Structure 1
Amino acid sequence: MTSEPDLPAATAVTGLTDEDFLADFHHTTVYGATAAGGIDRQAGTAEHGAVRAWFRARAEALGMTVTVDGIGNQYATYRWLPDGPTVLTGSHLDSQPLGGRFDGTYGVITALHAAARLNGEVRAGRLDPVHNLTVVDWFNEEGARFAPSIMGSSAMVGIKDRDEMLAVTDVDGVTVRDALESIGCLGTDAAPDVAAYAEIHIEQGRLLERNHTTIGAVTQSWYTQKLVVAVKGEQSHTGATVMADRHDALVAAAKIVVFTEDVVADYEPEKIVTSVGQFTVHPNSPIVVPREVDLVIDLRASAAADVLSARDTLRRKIADLAAERDIRIDVEDFDIRDIQHYPLDGVELTEKAAADAGVSCMRLETMAGHDSVAVNRIAPSVMVFIPSVDGVSHCEREFSTDGDMVAGVAAFTQIAGRLVTGALDTTAPGEPLTTGSSTTGPSTTERI
């Protein structure tokens, strides 16, 4: 392993200041801005296209070369060396509906400014890189409009098939391919060869805030999976069908929602979470007993065994419910993600970088999924958090302070500087925890 560079926190070389970073970050909030202070720019929408165009222009103004691959990932590169792999850094610019302005965007703008600062160090002769440096804006990390989430990075690393992802449709029948073409982001450039990856993100939790700590060095992701549930009853007249003759899909679906919340009661607090985030009623008429309800259950835990146990409990309860109410319920496993352990060398690198930047640091796990979970399969990856006020995310109230954001830029610049000088070149990518299931999990439907 090469010696680590002594990188200054100051930005005199590039002329970029912390105020410049904050100006760029806060400027991005105009794209898809909501009345309550959040953003709504789902993948492939006009608002998303506008902020992505701004990213390309800003990167080019900073002297970077921008390329776009066949699933819409955008790459802005400082090519200091003629060939060889690059250090990849970044996050995503798409959001949830009525989402927050920090999720994803903070990581992209931080990576952009860290890269520009390091480019100044290279040009001044104070940093001798062995790799180039690329900032990525991943396509469709959120999965709000097009499922699954983490789409662009998963296709890039080979977990998902690109053509299959391009054919995915939203609720209106628009394909990913059509959406990318509509915003000018269906590229033909090759994805880069990645030496290492680093991503900084808001925590979306309370651990850093509770512990009065500025930087989180992420050690592992949680085991996650979804259950896609179709509750199928019989459509009938709400006023003319007696109660005993009804096969109401909505009542059964409501019970499943309650099952989903109650299932965590027997597990260690704050080590497992469940929810129903998507719920669609058919035909959704005020005078029709619903014939079908489609919903998605999200299960996540620090231990894979807890998710699998909760899943089995839910399936049993759903089977009993179907028999009790004389209806059919289809349950499909979907989007299963094994635990990813981030390399210990990267965790320790984050701790050293935080110390050199003069900020506090602690180790923690990520409950949420991130693009680093995908990239960690092909290259040693570093995942970094800054605090989220009240732990709130995926809503307009999401917030991180300017002070924490600026501190994150300082630490992340240290991290990226170490990576481009080869700090993780002898480190292997992370490995999934063996759980007995495949990486992508089963794709089976159980009819109940």
Structure 2
Amino acid sequence: MIHKDRLQQHLNQMHALSTIEGIPGINRVAFTEQDWQGRAYLIDCLKELKLTIQYDNFGNVVGRYKGLNPSAPAIMIGSHTDSVPQGGHYDGLAGIVAAIEVVRALQTSNKRLESPIDIALFMCEESSRFGSATLGSQAMRGQLSKQRLIQLSDKTGLSLYEVLQQRGMDPEKVPHGSYHTPLKAFLELHIEQGLVLETTKHQLGIVTGIAAPTRYKVHIHGTAGHSGATPMTHRHDGLCAAADIILATERIAKAYEPTPVVATIGVIEATPGVMNVIPGEVTLGLDIRSISNTAKTDVAEDILAAITEISNTRQIPIDLELIANETPLMMSKTMLNAMETVANKGNYNYMTLPSGAGHDAMNWGDYTDVGMIFIPCEKGISHNPAEAINIDDLVAGTQYLLELVQYLDQQ
């Protein structure tokens, strides 16, 4: 049986470890002290369950609840430990405390399944620090090269390679540390981060597919100059070129059909950034997403072509740096049938829907069957201190997760 008080206790403890005085919201940014303290608390939770714990050189943690059949493939459940700066309290964390409670409920009822259960704590799912998302699960899949660890850096100039070293990891081993344990399924519970479930008054969402991002840094090499002394006809304004790119990005993504694609430029860094100087060097952060890889590729190609045209028209060199190019995941019919069977049997108020946000779950689709469960978040707000849930929805989602794990174990 799922206990609301235990779930709430974990949430309360993590909240206390994740705040910084004078700064709003949750601040478990990847590999910071708050993230490391939260990780330590969650590891203690796994130890209290007497799980066998494994660590990798990216900081990911897997705790195993042994099954009756040692050779059976495991069912992995979990989510990410980190948050965005000044973020919400339930993004990622809801899935971890649900996984812990599922194992606690099995232990309390003296029930052991045929399959082992692996609880996964993924590091660095958010792109906030290094500009690329789901890095922890990518590391577990052996998808991070040494070059990429050196290439990815935060705003202070520290590379991911250096940050791992600071945390006592060996980044040289990351490219060779992929997870090889057989899995029967990977399951992740997460807040929806959208309005659909709340608006339609559904308590659970069964995710049909997960959108994935393609991300670029766009480096615009304009020419800085005096804002008063340089005639308009003699300017190579980097920020004006950036404005053209931003509007072209919006126009191209909005016009694409029939599959929805979203494209966002959420970062603008202009140098020197003063009132009386024409902007020279400008860097943009471009994010393109869809649940269709074909649609995402088409829009990305059209945006890059527009950038080339803008560069030629304005006679301003523009360089592109690919940061991420991930593959969307469509859930298997086998998993969706299993999830709907369990939901109908338990009379859960559910609906099916796609995920516009990326998640660690999408990195496991070529390894095992993947299932993702959404619970509502109030007003669809996420990545924000105002992020909130109804704890009863988390209880229901965790109970459903428990029943789904037991159902899959019997298949």
- Relative to the length of structure 2, the TM-score reads 0.89
Bigger helix share = 2
Q: Which residue of 1 aligns with 2:65?
A: 78
CA distance in 2, matches of 1:310, 1:270: 11
Q: Which residue of 1 aligns with 2:108?
A: 120
- 1:101 is matched by which residue type in structure 2? H
Count of paired positions: 404
Q: Which residue of 2 aligns with 1:38?
A: 25
* Unaligned residue ranges in structure 1 (runs of 5+): 1-9, 12-16, 424-448
Q: Which residue of 1 aligns with 2:13?
A: 27
CA distance in 1, matches of 2:44, 2:270: 43
Q: Which residue of 1 aligns with 2:278?
A: 289
Q: Give yes or no for contact 1:273–1:300 (8 Å, CA) kept in 2.
A: yes
C-alpha distance 393-179 of structure 1, shift in aligned 2 (>3 A) = same
Q: Give yes or no for contact 2:139–2:178 (8 Å, CA) kept in 1.
A: no
Identical aligned residues as a percent? 27
Q: Which residue of 1 aligns with 2:312?
A: 323
Query: How far apart are 1:410 and its partner, in Å?
Result: 0.8
- 1:100 is matched by which residue type in structure 2? G
Q: Which residue of 2 aligns with 1:210?
A: 199
3-state SS of paired residue (1:294): strand
Q: Give yes or no for contact 1:70–1:186 (8 Å, CA) kept in 2.
A: yes
CA distance in 2, matches of 1:410, 1:298: 35
The correspondence of residues 298-309 of structure 1 with structure 2, limited to 5 A, is: 298-309=287-298
Q: Give yes or no for contact 2:263–2:287 (8 Å, CA) kept in 1.
A: yes
C-alpha distance 115-148 of structure 1, shift in aligned 2 (>3 A) = same
CA distance in 2, matches of 1:226, 1:190: 24
Match of 2:370 among 365, 371, 381: 381
Match of 1:155 among 139, 145, 153: 139
- 2:217 is matched by which residue type in structure 1? V
Name which of structure 1's ranges 144-153 and 158-167 shifts more when overlaid on structure 2.
158-167
- 1:120 is matched by which residue type in structure 2? T
- Relative to the length of structure 1, the TM-score reads 0.82
Q: Give yes or no for contact 1:68–1:185 (8 Å, CA) kept in 2.
A: no
1:146 aligns with 2:142: no
C-alpha distance 33-306 of structure 1, shift in aligned 2 (>3 A) = same
- Root-mean-square deviation (CA, aligned residues, Å) is 2.6
C-alpha distance 63-162 of structure 1, shift in aligned 2 (>3 A) = farther
CA distance in 2, matches of 1:27, 1:261: 42
Q: Which residue of 2 aligns with 1:109?
A: 97
Please give the per-residue CA displacement for 1:88-138, whole angstroms capped at 9, x wherever unaligned. Answer: 1100011112221111111111111112112333xx2xx452221111110
Query: How far apart are 1:192 and its partner, in Å?
Result: 5.9
Name which of structure 1's ranges 100-109 and 284-293 shifts more when overlaid on structure 2.
284-293
Q: Which residue of 2 aligns with 1:94?
A: 82
C-alpha distance 307-191 of structure 1, shift in aligned 2 (>3 A) = closer
Q: Which residue of 1 aligns with 2:396?
A: 407
3-state SS of paired residue (1:277): strand
C-alpha distance 46-316 of structure 1, shift in aligned 2 (>3 A) = same
- 1:231 is matched by which residue type in structure 2? I
Name which of structure 1's ranges 233-242 and 202-211 shifts more when overlaid on structure 2.
233-242
Q: Give yes or no for contact 2:261–2:290 (8 Å, CA) kept in 1.
A: yes
Query: How far apart are 1:343 and its partner, in Å?
Result: 1.8
CA distance in 2, matches of 1:166, 1:137: 23
Q: Which residue of 2 aligns with 1:445?
A: none
* Unaligned residue ranges in structure 2 (runs of 5+): none
CA distance in 2, matches of 1:259, 1:369: 24
Please give the per-residue CA displacement for 1:366-402, whole angstroms capped at 9, x wherever unaligned. Answer: 1111111001211111111111222222222222211
Name which of structure 1's ranges 236-245 and 379-388 shifts more when overlaid on structure 2.
236-245
The correspondence of residues 248-287 of structure 1 with structure 2, limited to 5 A, is: 248-267=237-256, 271-287=260-276
